[in-house]
Chain A
Amino acid sequence: MNRKFVSLWLALIMAVAVLAGCAAPAAPSGDAGSTSSDTAADTSADTSGGEEVTLEFTQWWEPELPEGEFRALMDEFEAQNPGIKVELISGPYSATKQQVVAGAATGTMSDVIGLDGAWVSDFVKQGALASLSDLMSEAGFDDSELAAQIQLNGATYMIPVVNFVYPLFSNADLMAAAGIENAPSTRAEFADAAAALTNADSNVYGWVLPLSLEAPNGIQNDVMAWVWASGGSMMADGQPHLTDNEAVSSAMEYIKELYDAGVITPGAFSMSEQDKVEEFTNGRVGMMIDSLAHINLIRERNPDLNFTIAALPAVEGYTGARGLPYASWGIGVAESTPHKAEAWKLVQYLMSEEVNSKLSSIANAFPGNVNSTPDFVESDELFGAAFDIYQAGYPANEFVGLPVAEALMRSFDEQFQLYLDGGQSLEEFLTNAQEAWAENF
């Protein structure tokens, strides 16, 4: 009986232990496993005692920067702001996105968050982001030095810290071999160049177009770029404007002509941005629209590749400023954080002229502070050229701030693929895409 009794109690203790293990409180704030709300609770207790505040900062930037560089900037911030510590929670872009989505839903967002412009609208709808306009005015911050602010309903919710622009990359050796002297400036010149560069027998094509549905950002960077480069827009009064829009229809028709002419690298429908860069790096494609962030990667992978950078081609006769697609490392503050003032100090620090110059230099990106100048502009010819293009044009990305931006790109992508594949006419494509988009507005 005793043995049975002991076994029974052991089993009960195990059950309780399992329950306790599952319901155990999260690790202390210094632990990567802690949640924002736990940290917030810990830190508010600390603050009330006049002790230090620990800010959680979730972003995907740290892994993309040279090791230790971003932490060094945070250490500098901590030294300048005694009593505030920054705990970096870093991960790849997609993992960060899921973490932030879950945090927004459950009210456990980190105090400061790295944001993509495509996420902002949805988080604002959920009430997960704090109004930076309020924080700026409380801190008496002059926002004239910010290059851009992502606003919704008249309030700023995201500030682009650094921007990665997407100019036209050309393989100079392939261009020279095809008898093309300068990078194309108009759509007609681009079509001629693409045709001259294409040699299917040697596996070389004029242009590369990634349309993978897994990550449909090719619609933003490689397709809509043609609309923005000629000063066009896919929106009107805050609503989708895909039908009866000459700027959009002419750009789509133009890409279809290139596709039908066979000057685009095969496999476009399943190609991702990474594949695009790989094709260009290996000398199998003459031209691509890509992020400046990839310059060093291309140089590392193929040091012998001779390439140049130019503004995106526009329609014939267009003389206005050319829109240049961009992606940002944006920053925002959680509405749920009890440390908004401290969080804003961190944002302000990252946006300051000196720190923003440093960050853009190590990220190979363009600064979010209008007064900052990254080092590479002076030291690197290609980046210098890109900076000139950036300053002559304007950063254009109409997906920033739109609701469910990725879903919009994906639904457009599906209709666009069907159009390119001959499954529907241009009118049908744009009407279907417009209908799909309109459901989300």
Chain B
Amino acid sequence: MTVTTRTSARARWYKTSKRLAPFAYLSPTLVLLTILSLIPIVMVFYYSLMDNVVMNPDPVFVGLKNYVEILTDDVFHTALFNTLYFTLMSVIFHLIIGLSFAMLLNTDAINPFTKALFRVIYILPWVFTASIIAILWRLMLNPNGVINYLLEWSGLISQKIEWLGSRQVALHAVTFINIWSGYPFYMVSLLAGLQGIPNDMYEAGTIDGANKQQLFRFITLPQLRPIIISLAMLDFIWTMQQFTLIWMTTGGGPIRATEVLSTLTYKMAFSSYEFSLASANAFVILALSLFVAYFYVRHQGATNE
């Protein structure tokens, strides 16, 4: 009797441990994700529902008041518009430039040494950190900097342009800097994709009478589509959160010309000490990122199937 009970207990324990085993294997990751992602997200959401946390020793629950305040604020609307412009233009031009350079580096028309040299040159912007990029471009775009000098020397402009100091030009200038710094990621990924397209497909297309444009449209683009969609979605999320580059070049100015959601959040938190408003703002950024992330995950799932 005792032996039977002991055996069935052991069998139960074996079954239970077998059921729990996958969770145990996952537990290091789950613990880290909980500590590093889930808890901060929950805390920020909690902060966003309170009357100014951190600065107020006894914050009170105010519900969605902070969200209503920021969503009805003109500055938030400006920052949202600027963020979307900055992000969309960056993603579009990253793709165009990245794909163009990738195709250039994939062609047989250039000898291997030249190709290797240009690979190094084209990838350089990606090597620099955001702060180095900001300092570099601040110097070059200074009214007395090399860009204005070259444009004046070549007769393209008659007077100096305040690239980062003019509210008409500043947003385009920081977007341009971001495009310059981000295209190599596309280039490298798309080059790998291009090298993976079987040559047979192009040969078959050529035999069928397709010209270069048709080969690009009906073979290259469809083959690169999964990579392009993944890159664009990831880039959208990353670019929307860009802070260092804008903060170090313009600080969100002149006036509010380059104010984006990340700089606005920083100012709310560390300049105005409005941590609850900043949390609500950060949560809006998270919601926008999640929206795109949802499509990314769906697309990844569909690709895997």
Given known contacts A5-B17, A8-B21, A410-B271, A213 and B252 CB-to-CB distance under 8 angstroms:
yes
A412-425 contact mask (Cβ, 8 Å, vs B): 1 or 0: 01100110010100
* Identity of the chain B residue whose Cβ is nearest the Cβ of A214 in the assembled complex: B251
Q: Contact partner of B14 among A1, A97, A127, A421, CB < 8 A? A: A1
A417 x B28 contact (CB < 8 A): no
Q: Does A270 contact B (CB under 8 A)?
A: yes
Interfacial chain A residues near B160, Cβ < 8 Å: 266
Q: Does B267 contact A (CB under 8 A)?
A: yes
Q: What CA separation (Å) do A4 and B270 show in the bound complex?
A: 51
Given known contacts A267-B142, A271-B165, A15 and B254 CB-to-CB distance under 8 angstroms:
no
B24 x A15 contact (CB < 8 A): yes
Can you sample 24 A-B contacts with CB below 8 Å? A1-B14, A4-B21, A8-B17, A8-B21, A8-B25, A11-B25, A15-B24, A15-B28, A15-B30, A122-B55, A126-B55, A212-B250, A212-B251, A213-B253, A213-B254, A214-B251, A266-B165, A267-B143, A269-B167, A269-B255, A270-B162, A270-B253, A406-B271, A407-B271
A267 x B20 contact (CB < 8 A): no
Interfacial chain B residues near A267, Cβ < 8 Å: 142-144, 162, 164-165
Interfacial chain B residues near A203, Cβ < 8 Å: 144
* Identity of the chain A residue whose Cβ is nearest the Cβ of B35 in the assembled complex: A22
B252-294 contact mask (Cβ, 8 Å, vs A): 1 or 0: 1111100000000001001111010000000000000000000
Q: What CA separation (Å) do A12 and B24 show in the bound complex?
A: 6
Q: What is the minimal beta-carbon distance from B145 to any residue of chain A, in angstroms?
A: 9
Q: What is the minimal beta-carbon distance from A367 to any residue of chain B, in angstroms?
A: 31
Interfacial chain B residues near A216, Cβ < 8 Å: 251
Q: Does B211 contact A (CB under 8 A)?
A: no
* Identity of the chain A residue whose Cβ is nearest the Cβ of B144 in the assembled complex: A203
Query: 4 closest pairs, A vs B, by CB?
Result: A214-B251, A213-B253, A269-B254, A15-B27
Q: What CA separation (Å) do A22 and B275 show in the bound complex?
A: 25
Interfacial chain A residues near B31, Cβ < 8 Å: 15, 18-19, 22
B267 x A410 contact (CB < 8 A): yes
Interfacial chain B residues near A4, Cβ < 8 Å: 18, 21
A421 x B27 contact (CB < 8 A): no
Q: Does B247 contact A (CB under 8 A)?
A: yes
B24 x A421 contact (CB < 8 A): no
Within 8 A of B (CB), among A393-441: 404, 406-407, 410, 413-414, 417-418, 421, 423, 440
Q: What CA separation (Å) do A142 and B167 show in the bound complex?
A: 53
| A212, A214, A267, A284, most chain B CB atoms within 10 A | A267
Within 8 A of A (CB), among B53-109: 54-55, 57
Q: What CA separation (Å) do A286 and B18 show in the bound complex?
A: 80
B253 x A212 contact (CB < 8 A): yes
B135-174 contact mask (Cβ, 8 Å, vs A): 1 or 0: 0001000111000000000000000101011110010000
B273 x A101 contact (CB < 8 A): yes
Interfacial chain B residues near A275, Cβ < 8 Å: 142
* Identity of the chain B residue whose Cβ is nearest the Cβ of A107 in the assembled complex: B57
Q: What CA separation (Å) do A266 and B161 show in the bound complex?
A: 9
Q: Does A105 contact B (CB under 8 A)?
A: yes
Task: A212-B251, A269-B254 are known; give 9 further A-B pairs, CB within 8 A.
Answer: A14-B28, A19-B31, A211-B254, A265-B143, A267-B143, A270-B254, A410-B267, A421-B167, A423-B255
B142 x A421 contact (CB < 8 A): no
Q: Does A74 contact B (CB under 8 A)?
A: no
Interfacial chain A residues near B239, Cβ < 8 Å: none
Given known contacts A18-B32, A19-B31, A269-B166, A215 and B251 CB-to-CB distance under 8 angstroms:
yes
Q: What CA separation (Å) do A414 and B263 show in the bound complex?
A: 14
Q: Does B249 contact A (CB under 8 A)?
A: yes
Q: What is the minimal beta-carbon distance from B30 to any residue of chain A, in angstroms?
A: 8
Contact residues of B with A, CB < 8 Å?
14, 17-18, 20-21, 24-25, 27-28, 30-32, 35, 54-55, 57, 138, 142-144, 160, 162, 164-167, 170, 247-256, 267, 270-273, 275
A99-124 contact mask (Cβ, 8 Å, vs B): 1 or 0: 00100010000000000000000100
Q: What is the minimal beta-carbon distance from A401 to any residue of chain B, in angstroms?
A: 15
Q: What is the minimal beta-carbon distance from A369 to any residue of chain B, in angstroms?
A: 32
Q: Contact partner of A214 among B17, B35, B248, B275, CB < 8 A? A: B248
Interfacial chain A residues near B170, Cβ < 8 Å: 270
Q: What CA separation (Å) do A59 and B164 show in the bound complex?
A: 33
A213 x B143 contact (CB < 8 A): no
| A216, A284, A421, A440, most chain B CB atoms within 10 A | A421
Given known contacts A11-B27, A105-B55, A214-B248, A417 and B164 CB-to-CB distance under 8 angstroms:
no
Q: What CA separation (Å) do A105 and B276 show in the bound complex?
A: 13
Q: What CA separation (Å) do A214 and B143 show in the bound complex?
A: 18
Given known contacts A11-B24, A126-B57, A417 and B267 CB-to-CB distance under 8 angstroms:
no
* Identity of the chain B residue whose Cβ is nearest the Cβ of A410 in the assembled complex: B271
Q: Does A73 contact B (CB under 8 A)?
A: no
Q: What CA separation (Å) do A236 and B144 show in the bound complex?
A: 41
B162 x A266 contact (CB < 8 A): yes
Interfacial chain B residues near A105, Cβ < 8 Å: 54-55, 275
Interfacial chain A residues near B166, Cβ < 8 Å: 269
Q: What is the minimal beta-carbon distance from A58 to any residue of chain B, in angstroms?
A: 17
Q: What is the minimal beta-carbon distance from A119 to any residue of chain B, in angstroms?
A: 10
Q: What CA separation (Å) do A440 and B165 show in the bound complex?
A: 28
Q: What CA separation (Å) do A440 and B164 show in the bound complex?
A: 29
Q: Contact partner of A284 among B30, B144, B247, CB < 8 A? A: B144
Interfacial chain B residues near A407, Cβ < 8 Å: 267, 271-273
Interfacial chain A residues near B247, Cβ < 8 Å: 214
Interfacial chain A residues near B35, Cβ < 8 Å: 22
Q: What is the minimal beta-carbon distance from A197 to any residue of chain B, in angstroms?
A: 16
